[in-house]
Amino acid sequence: MDKDIRDILDIFTEINKIPRQSKHEKQISDRLMTWAEKNNLTAERDELLNVLIHVPPSPGYEKSPVVVIQGHMDMVCEKTPDSSHDFSNDPVKVLIDGDWVHADRTTLGADNAIALAIAMKIAIDTSVAHPELELLFTVDEETGLTGANGLSSDFIKGKVLLNIDSEDDKKFTIGCAGGRDTVISFPLEYIPAPDPCSFMRISVSGLTGGHSGSDIHKGRANANKILARVLDHLDRKSNFYLVSLSGGSAHNAIPRDAEAWIALPEKNSCPPTYINPFIRDLCREYEATDPNMTVTCKEISKSSDKVITRPLTHKIINTVLALPHGVAAMSSRIEGLVETSSNLATLRTNSDTITLSTSQRSSVMSRLDAITRRIESIGHLSGAQVRSGNGYPSWQPDMESKLLKKCIEVYKKVHGNEPVIEVIHAGLECGVIGAKYKGMEMISFGPLITDAHSPDERMSLTSLEKVWRFTKTLLKEL
């Protein structure tokens, strides 16, 4: 393995020892500040814990424009059901299998620690010629881009930004979707559990999951929607009561697992001959995209002295059924691009509420408003409490950008072929940063990462080496 790549992997491995779940970035932010001080680099951070590290220019580059290299500190924390990993304390184990880097039954966090590692390597490698650099590392990208949203208007001064948060070394990203989240909450109404009654746990597991932006068009199953269909089917046979619902892990991950606990009056028991054929049909529907999907219905010992009322049980199930998930519209301007979509992301139960969280995306902001209003209307019609966030803007492509033309020129020089220029359906911080810092020229690129936001996440070492060579050459020629 090339020494430079080994150095980047060593930095990456050190980053992965630090817990950095979204909204819990204090440790990694502290470590970055300490690293800057140790390497005699000036650093600052804001109240949100965003970090900016200043790197002086190489000799001869003093008059070149300042370049911002940008990535985010946080990661999506997903694991397989058999993993005991604690993302609040345990390091993410970095494993190498041939050309691929992966973790042990968890997300790898290459999205986006690899950006930090590449930037940090550039900052301390005297063999890399570069202009003055600002290394901008933001918090909480994965749950709403709140770190980028909270940047002050004078935090950075550079007008050229390299975002290393794309996931294919053959591509340059020059535009992305905007997004918004909605939370639908049902205040719970309880009654004493029927006597006699039996309790059942219904579980959906083993789904493929994936990124709710880049994978939404692949037709993969959503565990929350599958669970709702099973509950609806049961509801036709037995007047059960909900005890709890849970499903999904993050707003930008297609749910892989979901679970419901229900109570059935003894006279309304549900025989396997009724539910099992329906489960087999569900699994056949998704055998191409989710071959490992498993749906189980098992009796359990008594789990609660109280249950959710029948009218509210019925209302919650119908709402989950009604909420949209998947592609809502394809772009009429760019062939093959998803324009608008939604992800029914999480189901949560606490002592007094059940909440359903959705995440919407669109490259057309008026259509983002429209699908958000549709989701809000479903919640209002169900009598629930509804709240939507402010969201983040889309990033509109500029095909005439000088930065883009330079990147294409350098890519052809380094790799000998043309890059693919794309606009993506996922959200990137470039949209927020571009809206905040007018006149900013931006591009996004990165090494090949597959199955981001899932425990199957992998990063290619060959592509990492390609991105490293491209980035070094680009900085030399900017």
Which residues are tagged catalytic?
Answer: 74, 141
| Neighbouring residues of 199: CB distance < 8 A, sequence distance ≥ 6 | 243, 261, 262, 263, 264, 299, 300, 301, 302, 303, 304
CB 130 within 8 A of CB 122: yes
E strand map for 397-464: 420-423, 441-444, 449-450, 458-460
Which secondary structure element, helix H or strand E, spans residue 246, and what is its range?
strand 241-247
3-state SS track over 181-244: EEEEEEECCEEECCCCEEEEEEEEECCCCCECCCCHHHCCCCHHHHHHHHHHHHHCCCCCEEEE
Distance of alpha carbon 424 from alpha carbon 341, whole angstroms: 12
Q: Which residues pair with 261 in a beta bridge?
A: 201, 244
Distance of alpha carbon 368 from alpha carbon 371, whole angstroms: 5
Distance of alpha carbon 413 from alpha carbon 102, whole angstroms: 30
Radius of gyration of the chain (CA): 24
Distance of alpha carbon 452 from alpha carbon 327, whole angstroms: 19
CB 352 within 8 A of CB 188: yes
Angle (CA) 314 320 322, round 5°: 95
Phi, psi of 474 (to 5 degrees): -60, -50
Distance of alpha carbon 255 from alpha carbon 220, whole angstroms: 10
Distance of alpha carbon 130 from alpha carbon 381, whole angstroms: 57
